[in-house]
Amino acid sequence: MSTTNKTAIVTGSSRGIGRSIALQLAKAGFSVIVNYVSKPDEAAQVVAEIKAAKGQAISVQADVSKSQDGAKLFEQAEKAFGPVDVLVNNAGIMTNKSFADMDEATYDRMMNINLKGTFNMLHLASTRLRDNGRIINLSTSALVTNMPTYGVYNATKAAVEAMTRVLAKELGTKRITVNAVAPGPVNTELFFSGKSQEFVDRLIKMIPLGRIGEVEDIAPIVVFLAGPDSGWINGQTIRANGGVG
């Protein structure tokens, strides 16, 4: 599997880690589908940056928690570039609340986007991804730190890791690998939202390398798993977290 004439869908790729993944995949030679929900201008900027570097990309609006929107992502990708070779399930949200403070609406929203959204895309990829393809799911290293207020978010990502391991076995006959990448604290809007500086400082002190991660620490790992040299890695979760756990 080379990256020439290969197509990758990256969900939630108008900002943060997803944006960096889309840019790095394009740099590696993939045609990229930049997915967004409500920020078309940000997605357009990612596409423009890819095209300025002589890459190929389009942006597609889709809410992956809706199965019909997930199907639209594949349809638009196939129309623009042909069959899809790589799926990166990056779209996700995080709201930190204790179990005592968690409300049903917040619970439902995280479950719908983080878990149902990933399931919808995995369901589609199971029949639409080209043989010898790659699936990379984004998880979290919060699963190993078990910090207060992460309970529901962790539940969604634990389920994603479970699906990763099972789907790796189901798609083996198609030589499609399925892996997960679990970042630790990363300098993104998602990470800082709703957190006090004291809480952030406490998290950083847990990291042996003494700093918060950057999106550039995560994207190259995804690109490697999407490429030709990762074919013997399957059903695994790589914890990219500076040694936090």
Question: Is the Cα torsion angle 94, 75, 160, 206 positive or negative in sign?
Answer: negative
Q: Which two tokens stand for residue 197?
A: 């500086």
* Of 203, 226, 192, residue with least CA distance to 15: 192
SS3 at position 138: strand
Q: What is the DSSP string of 160-214?
A: HHHHHHHHHHHTGGGT-EEEEEEE-SBSSHHHHTT--HHHHHHHHHT-TT-S-B-
Q: What is the DSSP string of 89-124?
A: E---------TTT--HHHHHHHIIIIIIHHHHHHHH
* Of 83, 82, 160, residue with least CA distance to 114: 160
Q: Which residues are marked as active site?
A: 153
Give the Cα separation of 100 and 77 in Å (integer): 43
**DSSP code of residue 39:** -
